[in-house]
């Protein structure tokens, strides 16, 4: 049986416009389950344990900004953690697609919902033969934002009859951590083009040139 797994991550707030969070982005990571990545997952697990990271996970936003569980971690350790996950991304066969809403262009949550639904829905319809080529499509999300859950469930159940939804958490699924990585890099790419990278982001990556050359260009090659 051919099975496609889709891992979802998001960044931003679906509420009112906030100058500190001007973008809302959703990333879908696609993985064909016939491709065995168990060795890569085992290697990433080992690397995370050696770094003694909390909850056996790498959470990109706080890692870069040195927040929450990473507030006592120096940059040297945080960059090691980032590179472990990025190395996993390089070695893993997957593709990704992101959807962006500029919050200053929407006036309310209804309009946010409409824009996101239209963008993701158009993508699925345009690639319907790809999705129907699988016996099962399983979607993994941590239900972090119910509004996004509703959008995704509505689109995929309306357009596909081979879809299942799984409540999943990053500590258990490394590909959810991968989707977090990709979502973060996609957002950084948008912010960099707008010359809106924060001080903590520039400090973490050293410069926009390093970010683009060493990471953004590489992850862009895996675009759907």
Does residue 87 lie within any of the structural domains?
A: no
In a domain, 50, yes or no: no
Cβ distance 30 to 133 under 8 Å?
Answer: no
In a domain, 46, yes or no: no
Q: Please report which confidence band the pLDDT of residue 15 belongs to, taking 50, 70 and 90 as the band edges.
A: low
Question: In Å, how far are 136, 158, 219 from 162, measured between CA atoms?
Answer: 5, 11, 29
pLDDT of the residue at 82: 98
Q: Where are the alpha helices (DSSP H) in the chain?
A: 38-51, 60-65, 75-91, 109-126, 128-132, 146-159, 174-193, 199-205, 208-211, 217-220
Tokens of 217: 């260009």
Domain that holds residue 182: 3-35+95-220
Is 54 part of any domain? no
Q: How far apart are CA 108 and CA 106, in angstroms?
A: 6
Strands 136-141 and 163-167: parallel
Residue 16, domain member (yes or no): yes
Domain count for the chain: 1
- Where residue 22 sits, what CATH number does that domain have? 3.30.420
Rounded to an integer, the average pLDDT of 153-167 is 96
pTM of the predicted model, to two decimals? 0.95
Q: What is the mean pLDDT of residues 157-186?
A: 96
Residue 64 lies in a domain: no
Confidence of residue 190 (pLDDT cuts 50, 70, 90): very high
Residue 63, domain member (yes or no):
no
Residue 61 lies in a domain: no
Tell me the pLDDT tens digit for each residue of 20-64: 678 999 999 999 999 999 999 999 999 999 998 888 899 999 999
């Amino acid at each position: 049986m051919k099975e496609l797994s889709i891992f979802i991550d998001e960044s931003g707030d679906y509420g009112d416009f906030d100058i500190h969070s001007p973008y809302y982005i959703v990333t879908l990571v696609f993985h064909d389950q016939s491709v065995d990545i168990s060795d890569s997952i085992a290697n990433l697990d080992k690397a995370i344990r050696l770094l003694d990271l909390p909850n056996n996970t790498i959470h990109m936003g706080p890692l870069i900004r040195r927040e929450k569980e990473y507030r006592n971690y120096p940059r040297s350790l945080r960059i090691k953690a980032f590179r472990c996950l990025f190395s996993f991304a390089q070695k893993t066969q997957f593709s990704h697609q992101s959807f962006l809403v500029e919050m200053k262009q929407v006036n309310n949550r209804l309009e946010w919902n409409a824009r996101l639904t239209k963008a993701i829905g158009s993508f699925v319809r345009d690639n319907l033969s790809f999705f129907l080529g699988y016996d099962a499509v399983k979607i993994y999300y941590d239900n972090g934002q119910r509004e996004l859950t509703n959008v995704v469930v509505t689109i995929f159940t309306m357009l596909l009859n081979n879809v299942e939804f799984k409540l999943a958490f990053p500590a258990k699924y490394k590909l959810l951590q991968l989707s977090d990585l990709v979502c973060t890099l996609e957002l950084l790419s948008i912010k960099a083009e707008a010359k809106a990278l924060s001080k903590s982001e520039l400090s973490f990556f050293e410069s926009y040139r390093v970010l683009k050359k060493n990471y953004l260009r590489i992850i862009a090659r895996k675009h759907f």
